[in-house]
A and B are shown apart, each in its own frame.
Chain A
Amino acid sequence: DGGITQSPKYLFRKEGQNVTLSCEQNLNHDAMYWYRQDPGQGLRLIYYSQIVNDFQKGDIAEGYSVSREKKESFPLTVTSAQKNPTAFYLCASSNWGQMNTEAFFGQGTRLTVV
């Protein structure tokens, strides 16, 4: 089935650790996105990528890093510089530069600092 797969579903991070969240899509979409969701707040864009080997900062990129070495994959690393990383992280993909830019989402990764 076509779709977006995020892993793991739950992730626990100790203080000072870097952790990497996985996002894979088989929809042949050019663009991929990472969002953070906190209670009572709208989705906030962390990073997005329009094409392989290119990515742009979103609204809250500090403390995060990404790579886009393959069209299908867009991993997000939460670094120790992110002071409040506990949140629900959502990955999405869509076409870019076409009329239909419908976005599709993965099932999310819940990150908790312990």
Chain B
Amino acid sequence: KQEVTQIPAALSVPEGENLVLNCSFTDSAIYNLQWFRQDPGKGLTSLLLIQSSQREQTSGRLNASLDKSSGRSTLYIAASQPGDSATYLCAVRFNNAGNNRKLIWGLGTSLAVNP
């Protein structure tokens, strides 16, 4: 069964820290992987999309890496700010026949950055 796991489930850090969120997946045959942010009661905002042929993507203070062979992706947030507080979701498109465009979701990491 193809699954996506995110660790930790919750994280609380002081402002200014660099931090890493982890996403692991059970099958290395992926099409792409996407990181999202969700604020309470809101929709999802796409942060970074990594294609299967890529090793990392960067946007501002965010950097996402992909290691297909080990089934892992990390989201690195530099110099965290209280405004980064949100739930971060990882979603993987596995490279299956037929339904290969479905996203498989992790449960998310709830991040709190304290002033």
Interface assignment of A2: CB less than 8 Å from any CB of chain B: no
CB pair A101 B42 closer than 8 Å:
no
List which B31-69 residues lie within 8 A (CB) of chain A: 31-32, 34, 36, 41-46, 49, 51
A96 contacts chain B at the CB level, 8 A cutoff: yes
Kindly identify which residue among A48, A100, A108 contacts B42, using a CB–CB cutoff of 8 Å: A108
A55 within 8 A of B: no
- Most central of B36, B43, B103 by chain A CB within 10 Å: B43
Report the minimum CB–CB distance from B97 to chain A (whole Å): 13
A42-B107, A101-B31, A108-B42 given; name 14 further pairs at CB < 8 Å.
A45-B102, A50-B101, A90-B44, A94-B101, A99-B51, A100-B49, A100-B51, A101-B93, A102-B34, A103-B91, A107-B43, A108-B41, A108-B43, A110-B41
What are the nearest 10 A-B pairs in CB distance?
A: A105-B44, A107-B43, A42-B105, A105-B43, A102-B49, A43-B105, A108-B43, A42-B107, A106-B43, A90-B43
